[in-house]
Amino acid sequence: MKRSLLSRVPVVSQLRQSVGVQRFMLLTGVVITGVYVLVAIFAPLIAPYSYGQLKDVHGNFGSQQAPSGAHLWGTTVGGYDVLSRTIFGARTAIVAIIIAIILSLIIGVLLGLFSGYFGGPIDRVLVVVCDAIYAFPTLLLAIVISIAISGGSSNFWSGVFSAAFSITVVYIPQYFRVVRAEVVRVKVESYVESARVIGAGDLRIIFRHVLRNSIRTLPLIITLNATDAFETLAGLGFLGFGIEPSSAAEWGYDLQKALSDVTSGIWWTALFPGLAIVVLALGISLMGESLNDLADPRLRRRGAAAEVTEADVEEVVL
């Protein structure tokens, strides 16, 4: 029986296959990530103030104000509302992840498709170049790109693109190698040979027959690598190469400014941006780990067997 369109969506299909701990991990990761996405979309409606707001009708917010009714999570050393900047920081992180993943996918998949299908000298050169790129540290490359783009002082888009471009350059080889290996396997299958025999062109074969059968493992790689996008952005902000506070909210910048507060007993300026980073990383990591287990037939069968065993025990007891 033909599956519905919804059941073929990557995360939905894995959720239907998962059992026990795998399902709990996947559901938890999806819920956490989904909450961050919703917060990013509706940040202006959720946040009590704007990310760069320093005063209201009652006057200036004040610096390092403790949590209160007016500021539930207190204020920073610069006089910004911590709750508002943490909420708007989710938007910055999600945008960086989306841009990095889209760029990496488009470039890496296209290079892998054509390199694996046509082979030859270009294929060998691309393989060597992609192997060499693995030697570049992600954060160092991000710093260089950030300086090249904006001289170390970034507005929202230049700061996000600095992190996204660095992640893109580093992870293009990963998508390239995975897709290329699948294309080399798929292009000798009988249905590809049949399409070639009846006169189908190379582009038609690549995008109609080879592509859809070469990207099945990409959702797993996306979830495993997505965390690096916003962590690199946070690292840039922490080192002073991130986004200006008047242009956008960014968790790494807020953490760097809160370092001196911690030694003075002012805990709220660092706690909430730090928790935001940890929880988002946890959510994406749980999704990646559960998808990794479900992609391994041995682990998937082990989880299913454990579920059946528990059900049998309960039935015997009853």
Give pLDDT tens digits for 195-235: 888 877 878 888 888 888 777 777 777 877 787 777 888 88
Q: Given this model, what pLDDT does residue 37 score?
A: 93
User: pTM of the prediction?
Assistant: 0.80
Going from the N-terminus, what domains does the chain have, and what CATH number goes with each? 19-297 (1.10.3720.10)
Is 290 or 80 the better-scoring residue by pLDDT?
Answer: 80
Tokens of 120: 């030859």
The answer to whether 233 and 242 have CB atoms below 8 angstroms apart is yes
| DSSP SS3 for 55 | strand
Lowest mean pLDDT among 7-16, 43-52, 145-154, 177-186: 7-16
- The pLDDT value given to residue 15: 60
- Please enumerate, as own/partner, the contacts of 138-145 that have beta carbons within 8 Å and a separation of 24 or more: 138/166, 138/167, 138/170, 138/228, 138/232, 139/166, 139/232, 139/235, 139/236, 141/166, 141/169, 141/170, 142/166, 142/167, 142/232, 142/235, 142/236, 142/241, 143/236, 143/239, 143/241, 145/169
On whether the CB atoms of residues 160 and 236 are closer than 8 A, the answer is no
Where does the pLDDT of residue 8 fall: very low under 50, low under 70, confident under 90, or very high at 90 and above? low
Lowest average pLDDT, out of 16-25, 104-113, 201-210, 249-258, goes to 16-25
What does the pLDDT read at residue 211?
82
Q: Is the separation of the CB atoms in 18 and 262 below 8 Å? A: no
Residue 297 has pLDDT above 60, yes or no: no
Write down the pLDDT at residue 169: 82
Question: Does residue 314 have a pLDDT over 90?
Answer: no
196 vs 204: CA distance, rounded Å: 10
Tokens for 173, please give them: 């080889």
